[in-house]
Structure formats: C-alpha cells, structure tokens
Amino acid sequence: MLRRVRLILLLFFIVFLSISCYDAHEVDDYAYVTTIGVDNGTADKWRFSFQITNMRSSGSKETFDGKETSEYLTITIDAPDFFHAANILDTSIARTINFRHTKYIVLSRDIAEKGEFNETLGPIIRFREIRRTTGVVVSTGTAQSFIEEFNPRIGISMARMQEGLMEQSKQTGFFPEIQLKDFYSGTKSSYRQSVAILAAVNDFSILQQNAEDDENKIELGERKAGELPRKGGNTVEFFGAAVFDGDKMVAEFNGYETRIMLALRGEFKQGVFTFHDPLKPELYVSINLKQQKKPKVKVEFDGDKPVIHVKLLMEGEILSVQSRIDYEEANKIGYLEGAAEDIIKQQAEALIDKAKELNVDFLNFGSYFVKSFLTIQEWEKYNWIERMKDVKATVDVEVKIRRTGTMIKSSPIKGTEEEE
C-alpha cells in the first residue's frame, strides 16, 4: 500500500514539474517578424525595419467597420544595435518581438557597399531565434522602402508569397537562393566569397518610358532588379545578384550573369533561355535548359598559378520557335544546341573575366582547388581568395536538347495573301 502511495506521489510530483510553466507562452504573446531590414539611421547610427505579421487579420480581412486590415505592419526605429532596437519596440507593441519565422534579412545597398553587414545584422546569427536558412537580400533602394512594399498583391498570404519568391530561383536562375548560413560563412571563408540576392522595388516607370532604339535596347536578362519593364503585380522583384569581397559589396550582376554564375557553381536548376534563331536571326527561339549534372571540373597548377577547366552539361526542351523552322529534325537540332552552347560559353568566359577583374571568387572555384592541399596551414598560406586574378580558365559547354515539347514538327501557315 505504502509503495503505491509513494508511486502515486512520485507521478504527481513529476507531472507537476513537467508542465513547463516557466517557458509556456501563448502564440499571441509574440509579434512574429517576417523580414528585417537595415539602413543608415539619422536619429541614431542604424535604422532597423521590422515587418511584423498581423495575426488578427488572418482569415477575414475586414473589421466591423468595413475597413480592411493589413496582414502585416512595418515598424522602423533608429538605434545603435539590432537587439536594442527590438527590445525597445517591445514596449510599444505590447508583445515580444519574435524572430522564429523571419524569412529575409534585407541590407540596403549603402550598408552593403560600406561593408557594414558584420556590424549591423551579422551578429544576430548568434541569436537562437534566427534560423540560418533565412534569405539574404540586398535592396538597391532603402531596406525600409523595400520592406514596406514586400507584401503580396496577388491573393496569397504574405508568408506564402515570401517563401514562394525564393523558390523561383530554382525555376528561373535569375537570382541565387542565398541563405544566411551561406552568406555568413562566405564572408569568413578561405574557399570562396559571398553573394546575395539583388532586389528592388519596381515603380513601373520603365515601362512608360519611350521605347529605346534597337542599338540602345537592353535585353530583359541584362537588366537588374528594379529595372524590368513591367507593370502590375508585386512591386518588389528579385533579379540579379550582389557580389561581396569579404563583407563589402563590390558588384551587381544582371539576370544573365547570375544564371551563368549559378551554372558555373553547379547550382542552376532550370531556366528559359531565349536567343536569336540561328537560321533567322530577327526572330527568337526559347528553350528550357536544366543543369542535370554538376559541372565537370579539372584543376591543376601552372607553377603557382591556378588553372581550371570547366565543362557545363545542360539538357533542354524546345519551348517555342517563332520562325517555325523544323528544329525538331535530327539534322537541324544541332543548330539550336550549337547556338545555346556558344551563348553560354561566351557568357561564362565573360563572367570569369569579371571575377578575375574583381579578384573575387563568387564562382566557388576554391572548392575545387582546396582538394590539392593536404593541410589547412598550406591552404591558408596559399591564400586562395587573393588568387582569383591569376586563374587561367577554360570553359566547355555541352547542350543536349532531349525533348521538343508537345510538337514534333511545325506545319506552314497557309493564307490567301502569302504562303510559306
């Protein structure tokens, strides 16, 4: 009997202690921050912006008086330190700011160019609530204005829109999928240097400008974030990449450059390549290319100089042929493959030249060269990140068009005025 009483008392004691009162919190005790931004401040050193989910608005967006409530709110504060800012904001929003669901960190171009990441938002990686899978974005304008516009105009939730946007890197290759862990380790790396997503608010003014003449026309892929000639939809756009030397931003890449950078890093999934028809150059051909395999890379040393041979392997599917030339035929498909290979090779060589000129390894070439060194001391003495300027590189591209879409040939158009 006494044994049973003891057991019951023990169980009661354990249950009583296991209710975790200390750490128990209701979901609405917190204000969940989805995006964090930093600019230069005026009242204090930095200006921090927080985009916070308004949980009251989930479900119905209308209040009793018929007004629409926003799904988010943006709060901006000037402060000398990130956590100081967050702590002070707790006093005005009556909830504790929580970063468990933060999806993006936004640096303004100013902050990025001055190399102030490690003073502003870099140290927050230490905080338990910050996930290292958070995306890192450089905004061409202020981070504050970017965050204010960073919400969906199409009927999906903000969280879905923000997560979905990152997924588009895999579908297009026009911007890299960069997480905090990659960016942070890149700033300290002996193997490579960092890149971040280039983003901007598009005010849609470029679409309304007078059409440029053919010579000055900028191809879509050669534009950067904020410069796309479009109107409607979300005002923010991710397009291109920001390249860093240490924690200092040293270059911006357009969409094409970013795509080739990803292909050379072996991180390109798929994307639509549109180029002049090799047999009718006034028209365009579109093919969807996928990088099915990582690039084949061989490295060697010419004396002290690093030499790298890269072979890119792409597979594709024809999406559209404006000229209706039968590229599906076995004897003509080579024209398309050759044209795609030439363009990619040209762009890759130009990008490697740019890397040498900047002396920045954003192509992750260091990850191949490191295998030639036996010890960390030898590798650090060689000081790879100073060596990019000396690299001799050759690029080979192999494109194989495996599929032709839903058509196996294109019949001519027939009309009374003209016959093909």
Partner 1 sequence: MDEGKIGNVEMICLLVNAIACKAFFTSVAAVVEKVGTAGWYMVLISDIVAIGVFSQMYALSKAYPGKNLLEIYDDIVGKKVGKVLSFISCIMLFVTVSITLREFTDATNVYLLHESPPGFIVGMFIIAMVTVCFLGIEGLGRVAKFLSFILLFNFLIVMVLSYRTFQGYKLFPILGYGLGNTVRHGIMRSSAFGEFILLGVFAKALNNTKDLGKIGYKSLIIGGLIISIVLFSVIISFPYYVTTELADPLYIMVSLIQYGRFFQRIEVVFIFTWNLSTLIGLTAIFYGSIICYCHVFNIKDKKPIIISFGISTYISTLIVPSISIILDYIVPIFRGYGWIGFYTPIFISWAIWLLFRRGKQTNVEKS
Binding site for partner 1 (CB under 8 A): 10, 14, 17-18, 20, 22-23, 128, 131-133, 160, 163, 181, 184-185, 188-191, 367-368, 370-371, 373-379
Closer to partner 1 at the Cβ: 183 or 256? 183
Residue 377 CB, nearest distance to partner 1 (Å)?
Answer: 7
Residue 364 CB, nearest distance to partner 1 (Å)?
Answer: 8
Q: Which residue has the tokens 């988010």?
A: 72
Residue 160 CB, nearest distance to partner 1 (Å)?
Answer: 8
What is the number of other CB atoms lying within 10 angstroms of the CB of residue 145? 19
- Alpha helices by DSSP H, listed for 200-332, are 205-208, 255-265
What is the number of other CB atoms lying within 10 angstroms of the CB of residue 93? 13
Over the range 69-86, which residues count as b (16 or more CB within 10 Å of their CB) and which as e?
eebbebbbbebebbeebb
Residue 13 CB, nearest distance to partner 1 (Å)?
Answer: 8
Residue 23 CB, nearest distance to partner 1 (Å)?
Answer: 5
Closer to partner 1 at the Cβ: 67 or 128? 128
Q: How far is Cα 181 from Cα 267, in angstroms, rounded to an integer?
A: 16
Residue 201 CB, nearest distance to partner 1 (Å)?
Answer: 25
What single string gives the DSSP state of each residue in 357-376? HHT---S-THHHHGGG-SSH
Closer to partner 1 at the Cβ: 327 or 369? 369
Closer to partner 1 at the Cβ: 9 or 283? 9
Residue 128 CB, nearest distance to partner 1 (Å)?
Answer: 6
Rg (CA), the chain: 26
Closer to partner 1 at the Cβ: 18 or 331? 18
Instruction: Give helix 255-265 / helix 333-358 axis angle, nearest 10°.
Output: 90
Closer to partner 1 at the Cβ: 187 or 288? 187
Counting Cα atoms < 13 Å in the Cβ hemisphere of 305 gives 8
Closer to partner 1 at the Cβ: 30 or 273? 30
Residue 33 CB, nearest distance to partner 1 (Å)?
Answer: 16
Q: How far is Cα 236 from Cα 255, in angstroms, rounded to an integer?
A: 15
Q: Decide: 272 and 303 in contact? Cβ < 8 Å.
A: no
Closer to partner 1 at the Cβ: 292 or 320? 292
Q: How far is Cα 407 from Cα 319, in angstroms, rounded to an integer?
A: 10
Over the range 336-368, which residues count as b (16 or more CB within 10 Å of their CB) and which as e?
bbebbbebbbebbeebbebbbebbbbbbbbbbb
Residue 292 CB, nearest distance to partner 1 (Å)?
Answer: 17
Residue 365 CB, nearest distance to partner 1 (Å)?
Answer: 11
Closer to partner 1 at the Cβ: 166 or 318? 166
H or E element in which residue 308 lies: strand 305-321
- Alpha helices by DSSP H, listed for 279-358, are 333-358
Q: Decide: 381 and 293 in contact? Cβ < 8 Å.
A: no
Q: How far is Cα 336 from Cα 351, in angstroms, rounded to an integer?
A: 23
Closer to partner 1 at the Cβ: 100 or 389? 100
